Amino acid sequence: MPDIAIETPSASDIDTLHALLAQTYWSPGIPRETVARACAHSLCAIARDANGVLVGFARAITDHATFAWVCDVIVCEGHRGEGLGRDLVRKLRDHPDCAHLRRWMLGTRDAHGVYTALGFAPVAAPARLMEILNPAPYGKPTT
């Protein structure tokens, strides 16, 4: 099983993450600089194989006091189906600065079962939530 740590991604990690995230449904075409800036201002969990190569990633946008938004959970091909995505999110939730937050949120199109196993559930009062959505922030529409 890969080792998971809370750490700031290196420049080569950002290269790997950019290549992965630019192909996802939630951030198609995302610029490398945007990935780097997002990571610099987030709590990041990184899974590495025995050679130290990044094989999984998740980040939380948080105030470290009351709230966190989990995003960019991604596991490299060849390591999927092993529970690594769940372990990455668990690592974020267990971080000492965030273990007692009042609310954790995330959005997913197709991985509800991954997050349900960690205690996430549909929003109890979705009518209270609002958004501003830019469907093509990087030139390609998100789905």
Q: What residue spans define the domains of the chain?
A: 3-128
The CATH class given to the 3-128 domain equals alpha beta
Whether the pLDDT of residue 45 is over 90: the answer is yes
Residue 46 to residue 74: CA distance in whole angstroms: 10
State how far Cα 142 lies from the chain centre. 16
Per-residue pLDDT at 136:
85
Q: What is the pLDDT of residue 140?
A: 79
Does the pLDDT of residue 143 top 80, yes or no? Answer: no
Confidence of residue 33 (pLDDT cuts 50, 70, 90): very high
Name the pTM for this structure. 0.93
Helix (H) or strand (E) holding 48, with range, is strand 43-48
| Residue 90 banded pLDDT, cuts 50, 70, 90 | very high
Secondary structure of residue 20 in the 3-state scheme: helix
